[in-house]
Amino acid sequence: MSEDLIRLSAVEAVSALKAGDITPLDLLDAQEARIAAVDGAVNALPTLCLDRARARARALLARTGDLEPSSPGWLAGLPIAVKDMNPVAGVRTTFGSRIYADHVPTQSDVVVKTLERRGALVSAKSNTPEFAAGAHTFNEVFGVTKNPWDVTKSCGGSSGGSAVALATGMVWLATGSDLGGSLRIPAAFNGVVGLRPSPGRVAQGPVADPFSPLSVEGPMGRSVADCALMLDAMAGIDPLDPLSREAPAVSFLSAARRPSAPTRVAWSADLKVTPMAAVQREVAEAATRRFEGLGADLVEAGLDLSDAMACFQTLRAVQFATIMGRLLDKHRDALKPEVVWNIEKGLALSVDEVARANRTRARIVQRMARLFETVDVLATPATCVPPFPLEQRYVEEVEGHPLATYVDWLAITFAITVTGCPALSIPAGLTPEGLPVGLQLVGRPGGEAALLSHAAALETEIGFSRHFPVTPKV
């Protein structure tokens, strides 16, 4: 029974929970067995809180506490993994940093509270880079998380632990966050789905910069429908987040369950912002062309987002200085060099540099609005390289093109961050070496429902889900 349960999709598991065919305790038992069997090979879930989850499961079965069973995102006792950037009351939360290695918060953040009200059981914390900085999941508290498709390779980041836990069947849903691609990149590297919603779609907080649209929280799952279900469970307004918005009247899951082909799809291999490995371009373009079989017209985007590079680097540095500037004075020696560099870059910026970045962002937003006057979806590769060796801290060059900073290789995703558009990564196929390649699909601002519907149609056409769960290849 345990093997059968871990193979269920999140949508199937929640349906079975609602019908009373299984209980949350059954799923927790199956999860615990799966974690024991595979996590030693990948190190995705370094902190478990199964006893806490079982206590909450019993309370849920008794219908006690602050619950929202009428919510479209009601999870009915489904165990989930929460990224180690999200405080969970009574559970060790390190942010991947030695500074917080023994930190146990007394309060959960908005994301966790929302999910628990809607029937989620937090059963594990997933590994992340230090302060979610960078797209390779390693830190000095828990070590490195490995890619289950090849444990000598990176799983991406910063939501790497969540992506690996999903791919290996240790969890049915997981949270992620995304500043420059931290949902989309690990989804691509592990063959799962990660959705970066529009700013405000998922309330977050408390945070030091509540008016910034750069960093968002979002869902990760093994399929588009699973991601849509979790987005329903996460969406909504909260007074701690001034950008947050009310959840839509029609659920995101209902949109994913009605797959629809877009009328017109724009393709770009690189957005003119990054060098691109040939295998990434070829696999992602072949997947995009599957839209033509669904009746969509495919056109070259002709989109130049090269100015997003300097814009994002500046705005990211401002955020690092805002959130972590005080840590530099007190804990400099405990911060990894890339974080120190990012904070110092932010502190050294002039008003003119920040103003220039904001003006550039405005032009990019306008450029995207014009594109979406004539197309429904923008498609690109989700990463510029396949999963790279574990011993590399980050990608330093792409097919002979040197990269200047530890985040330059994220440009294909962070250029989209600047636009404010929702974007997801779905599996496009495999490299000749058998490693996943992700396809980034971008929709109109606020257009998650249409994006999920179009992605679901393409997902069915590609048919990648047969690979799950992945047994780590050691």
Local structure of residue 99 (DSSP, 8 states): G
Give the pLDDT score at 474: 75
Q: Which two tokens stand for residue 276?
A: 């691109």
474 in any annotated domain: no
Residues spanned by the domain of 199: 2-467
274 in any annotated domain: yes
The confidence band for 468, taking pLDDT boundaries of 50, 70 and 90, is confident
- The enclosing domain of 435 has a CATH number of 3.90.1300.10
Residue type, 464: F
Separation CA 191–CA 186 (nearest Å): 8
Separation CA 425–CA 186 (nearest Å): 9
473 in any annotated domain: no
22 in any annotated domain: yes
167 in any annotated domain: yes
The confidence band for 58, taking pLDDT boundaries of 50, 70 and 90, is very high
Smallest CA-to-CA distance from 216 within 120, 110, 322, 128 is with 110
444 in any annotated domain: yes
pLDDT single digits (tens) 162-199: 999 999 999 999 999 999 999 999 999 999 999 999 99
Residue 459 has pLDDT above 80, yes or no: yes
Arithmetic mean of pLDDT over the chain: 97
**Residues identified as active-site:** 83, 158, 182
Separation CA 29–CA 34 (nearest Å): 9
267 in any annotated domain: yes
Residue matched to tokens 């429908």: 225
Residue 216 parent element (H or E): strand 216-221
pLDDT single digits (tens) 371-391: 999 999 999 999 999 999 999
If one counts the domains in the chain, the total is 1
Residue 352 parent element (H or E): helix 351-371
* Helices 411-419 & 308-331 angle (0-180, nearest 10): 100
472 in any annotated domain: no
Cβ neighbors of 81 (< 8 A, separation 6 or more) are 44, 45, 122, 123, 124, 125, 126, 161, 162, 165, 166, 170, 171, 173, 174, 175
Residue matched to tokens 């079975």: 16
